[in-house]
């Protein structure tokens, strides 16, 4: 298997060709499997919502909420088989029953039909110990949107209980591949809910696809495709399916990254001889070169302020992370610990930097690490030594990354404090190059 990192040793991951393990890839969803949660998760009971319609609902709304909360690693949810009652309104709630199950919080709800295609949902959150209502909210949804509605409710419950915005309504994009016995390959760029459900193929090609990047409004994805025989940068409009190719230059065209305002794309081009970072104004078409060094500059990622970029460069002798002020061209080196630091991205508050790190003397082991830009403390979050392509959830709670499990690629995730871990393997096949969307509502 030729990993993404092998290519990185040549051009610091600029032309990462994801030749994934040989397998027969069927249409399969990613599956979130929590491998480690906090030592004392908060107990929550999510009761099946009552339904006043005649035909069965296409989705079990309460189950989706339950799975979102439990998969976050912060909550333990109560099995339905151990519930002593199934209330859907406040007058049906007997708090002593829920104290007996050692539940700290209780979620109940009810769904009623508006017409044959639309329903009304009311959900409530209770503090069991205080016997207090913490939240009651109504909403409406089409039957086809019940999963979206469930993720939305889970977001609100998560925020009420943790103080941080939930990210269950977000999506991820990722690359999968299969290789046939006659040396033919098939690559797919896919999009799914944060939990891997509802996968959708954005692009299918016989040539490699790589480096997906979300626009700040969540409506477009930029990526690199080799479908023309050489690397080209494309922009996909998710709602309409419209697809545009950014002007292609001789040599390398890679590593696109959207600016926070959605008006600019940072990218790596070698049209002038050496891989350098450029910024394209997607409105005016103006292209400006922002780095100029004989070393290789690659993997640009925007800071939340939209005025600076972080990127990987070997200009100091080994791959390290630098920050560049676009207006002044002031350059600051951010990483010093270890002999390899690459593929960095900032949390939305600009405080932390997630990256791929290799410690001096660790051989060929690459880990996901988080650098606190305020204190310069570097925390290594993973231990397998096979990690690559970290991407941060928009609420800065979790870093999703690609790794290897046996002979196949999987996605795994770890919280910024290292306390929560989960993995998202395909049931069959390989998956690489994840990118987490911004908030979508």
- pLDDT at residue 53 tops 70: yes
Q: Is 19 in the same domain as 85?
A: no
Q: pLDDT tens digit string along 354-391?
A: 999 999 887 889 999 999 999 999 999 998 888 999 99
Residue 337: CB atoms within 10 Å: 15
> Domain of 391: which CATH number?
2.120.10.30
Residue from 197, 201, 218 nearest 209 by CA:
201
Host domain of residue 364: 4-28+169-436
CA-CA distance, 147 to 305, in Å (whole number)? 33
Confidence of residue 114 (pLDDT cuts 50, 70, 90): very high
Examine the fold and report which residue of 115, 140, 162 is the final residue of a domain before the chain moves on.
162
Looking at residue 394, its pLDDT comes to: 96
Q: Is 201 in the same domain as 329?
A: yes
Q: Is 14 in the same domain as 126?
A: no
Q: pLDDT tens digit string along 143-183?
A: 999 999 999 999 999 999 999 999 999 999 999 987 776 77
Is there a contact between 251 and 234 (Cβ–Cβ < 8 Å)? no
- pLDDT at residue 13 tops 60: no
Q: Is 355 in the same domain as 380?
A: yes
Residue from 378, 338, 342, 382 nearest 362 by CA:
338
Residue 199: CB atoms within 10 Å: 18
Q: How many domains does the chain have?
A: 2
Burial class (CB in 10 A: 0-12, 13-18, 19+), 120: middle
CA-CA distance, 220 to 262, in Å (whole number)? 9
Specify if 369 maps to a domain: yes
* Neighbouring residues of 54: CB distance < 8 A, sequence distance ≥ 6: none
Q: Is 286 in the same domain as 345?
A: yes
Identify which of 112-126, 244-258, 348-362 has the greatest average pLDDT: 112-126
CA-CA distance, 287 to 60, in Å (whole number)? 49
Q: Is 300 in the same domain as 184?
A: yes
Q: Is 123 in the same domain as 191?
A: no
Specify if 135 maps to a domain: yes
Q: What are phi and psi of 35, to 5 degrees?
A: -105, -20
Confidence of residue 435 (pLDDT cuts 50, 70, 90): very high
Examine the fold and report which residue of 131, 162, 193 is the final residue of a domain before the chain moves on.
162
Q: Is 299 in the same domain as 410?
A: yes
> Domain of 125: which CATH number?
3.40.50.10070
Specify if 346 maps to a domain: yes
Q: Is 220 in the same domain as 110?
A: no
- pLDDT at residue 10 tops 60: no
Confidence of residue 12 (pLDDT cuts 50, 70, 90): very low
Is there a contact between 312 and 12 (Cβ–Cβ < 8 Å)? yes
Looking at residue 18, its pLDDT comes to: 34
Specify if 35 maps to a domain: no
Overall average pLDDT of the 22-43 stretch: 72
Looking at residue 434, its pLDDT comes to: 96
Q: What is the pTM of this model?
A: 0.90
- pLDDT at residue 65 tops 90: yes
Q: Is 189 in the same domain as 327?
A: yes
Q: Is 198 in the same domain as 346?
A: yes
Q: pLDDT tens digit string along 383-412?
A: 888 899 999 999 999 999 999 887 788 899
Share of residues in the chain with pLDDT > 70 (%): 93
**How far is C-alpha 178 from the chain's CA centre?**
22
Mean per-residue pLDDT of the chain: 90
Specify if 307 maps to a domain: yes
Residue from 318, 263, 323 nearest 290 by CA:
323
Looking at residue 183, its pLDDT comes to: 72
Looking at residue 2, its pLDDT comes to: 31
Q: Is 193 in the same domain as 261?
A: yes
Specify if 33 maps to a domain: no
Specify if 21 maps to a domain: yes
Instruction: Describe the crossing of helices 61-71 and 146-162 by its angle, rounded to 10 degrees.
Output: 40
HEC string for the chain: CECHHHHHHHHCCCCCCCECCCCCCCCCCECCEEEECCCCCEEEEECCCEECCCCCCCCCHHHHHHHHHHHCCCEEECCHHHCCCCCCCHHHCCHHHHHHCCCCEEEEEEEEECCCCEEEEEEEEEECCCCEEEEEEEEEEEHHHHHHHHHHHHHHHHHHHHCCCCCCCCEEEEEEEEECCCCCEEEEEEEEECCCCCCEEEEEECCCEEEEEECCCCCEEEEEECCCCCCEEEEEECCCCCEEECCCCCCCEEEEEECCCCCEEEEEECCCCCCEEEEEECCCCCEEECCCCCCCEEEEEECCCCCEEEEEECCCCCCEEEEEECCCCCEEECCCCCCEEEEEEECCCCCEEEEEEECCCCCCCEEEEEEECCCCCEEECCCCCECEEEEECCCCCEEEEEEEECCEEEEEEEECCCCCEEEECECCCEEEEEEECCCCC
Confidence of residue 429 (pLDDT cuts 50, 70, 90): low
Looking at residue 20, its pLDDT comes to: 32
Specify if 34 maps to a domain: no
Examine the fold and report which residue of 145, 162, 179 is the final residue of a domain before the chain moves on.
162
Looking at residue 203, its pLDDT comes to: 93
């Amino acid at each position: 298997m030729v990993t993404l990192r092998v290519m990185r040793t040549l051009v610091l991951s600029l032309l990462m060709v994801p030749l994934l393990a040989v397998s027969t890839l069927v249409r399969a969803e990613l599956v979130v499997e929590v491998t480690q949660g906090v030592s004392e998760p908060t107990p929550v009971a999510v009761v099946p919502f009552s339904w006043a319609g005649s035909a069965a609902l296409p989705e079990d709304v309460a189950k989706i909420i339950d799975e979102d909360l439990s998969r976050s690693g912060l909550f333990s949810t109560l099995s339905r088989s151990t519930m002593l009652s199934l209330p859907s309104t406040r007058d049906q709630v007997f708090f002593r029953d829920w104290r007996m199950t050692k539940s700290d919080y209780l979620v109940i709800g009810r769904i009623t039909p508006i017409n044959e295609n639309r329903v009304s949902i009311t959900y409530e959150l209770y503090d069991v110990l205080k016997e207090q209502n913490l939240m009651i909210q109504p909403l409406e949804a089409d039957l086809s949107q019940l999963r979206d509605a469930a993720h939305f409710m889970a977001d609100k419950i998560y925020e009420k209980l943790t103080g941080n915005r939930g990210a269950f309504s977000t999506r991820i994009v990722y690359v999968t591949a299969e290789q046939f016995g006659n040396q033919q390959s098939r690559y797919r760029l896919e999009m799914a809910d944060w939990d891997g459900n509802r996968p959708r193929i954005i692009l299918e090609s016989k040539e490699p696809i790589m480096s997906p990047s979300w626009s700040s409004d969540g409506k477009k994805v930029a990526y690199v495709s080799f479908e023309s025989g050489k690397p080209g940068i494309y922009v996909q409009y998710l709602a309409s399916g419209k697809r545009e190719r950014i002007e292609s230059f001789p040599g390398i065209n890679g590593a696109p990254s959207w600016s926070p305002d959605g008006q600019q794309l940072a990218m790596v081009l070698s049209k002038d001889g050496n891989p350098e970072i450029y910024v394209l104004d997607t409105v005016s078409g103006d292209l400006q070169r922002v780095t100029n060094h004989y070393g290789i500059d690659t993997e640009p990622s925007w800071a939340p302020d939209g005025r600076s970029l972080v990127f990987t460069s070997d200009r100091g002798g080994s791959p390290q992370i630098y920050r560049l002020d676009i207006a002044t061209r002031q350059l600051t080196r951010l990483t010093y610990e270890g002999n390899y630091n690459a593929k960095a991205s900032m949390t939305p508050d600009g405080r932390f930097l997630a990256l791929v790190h290799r410690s001096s003397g660790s051989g060929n082991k690459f880990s996901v690490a988080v650098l606190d830009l305020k204190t310069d403390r570097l925390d290594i979050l993973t231990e397998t030594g096979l990690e690559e392509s970290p991407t941060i959830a928009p609420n800065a709670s979790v870093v999703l990354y690609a790794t290897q499990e046996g002979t196949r690629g999987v996605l795994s995730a770890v919280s910024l404090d290292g306390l929560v871990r989960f993995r998202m393997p395909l049931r069959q096949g390989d998956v690489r190059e994840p990118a987490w969307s911004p908030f979508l509502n």
